[in-house]
Amino acid sequence: MTAPLLVFAYGNPSRGDDALGPELLRRLEALAPPGTEFLTDFQLQVDHAVDLQGRRRVLFIDASVAAPPPFAFARLRAEKDASYTSHAMSPGAVLHAYRELYGVAPPPAYLLAVRGDHYELGAPLSALASAHLEAAFELAQKLCVAPGEEWERQLTRAEPVQR
């Protein structure tokens, strides 16, 4: 049976603050919220459109240099963008691929973009990113058990923040 909520974090744990998404997912997964499935990868690809099938809602989590501190939370829309033909896609492009693949609208999807600043290979999470992670974790915990209306009330931005 497919869990109604998919939490999908992406980023490279070996690149400093790029580990924010996977680290937040690890913390959420330890709570084992009912009806939630967790997935992580280094980057989004067209194959991930299949993972959205049968979901009521999807939460993408990523590190961002453009998000205001500590994070931005926005509703996503399916859109064909420049990442559509690359090896790493935006969440909107994954939603677009879903629509193209199945011929129906993708499930409601949101992006939790956690502010990071240091992405050096081999570096740990910076102290500032760790503080942003704590704030994002508080919101993400609420989202994992909240109905869809509550997700809309938690939005901090009308448009998603690009990496």
- Cα separation, 58 vs 148, in Å, equals 11
Q: How far apart are CA 144 and CA 140, in angstroms?
A: 6
CB within 8 A of 29, min separation 6: which ones? 38
Prediction pTM value: 0.93
Left if phi > 0, otherwise alpha if psi is -120 to 50, otherwise beta: which for 35?
A: left
pLDDT, tens only, 4-51: 999 999 999 999 999 999 999 999 999 999 999 999 999 999 999 999
Q: At what angle do helices 127-145 and 20-31 cross, to 10 degrees?
A: 40
Coil, helix or strand for 64? strand
Cα torsion angle, 40, 147, 152, 137, sign: negative
Note if the bond before 91 is cis, omega within 30 degrees: no
Task: Give the model's confidence band at 158: pLDDT under 50 very low, under 70 low, under 90 confident, else very high.
Answer: low
Tens of pLDDT, residues 44-91: 999 999 999 999 999 999 999 999 999 999 999 999 876 555 557 899
The predicted pLDDT at position 83 comes to 57
Give the CB-side neighbour count of residue 155, counting CA atoms within 13 A.
14
**pLDDT digits 0-9 by tens, 105-149:** 999 999 999 999 999 999 999 999 999 999 999 999 999 998 888
Residue-range domains of the chain with CATH = 5-153 (3.40.50.1450)
CA gap 56, 143 in Å, rounded: 13
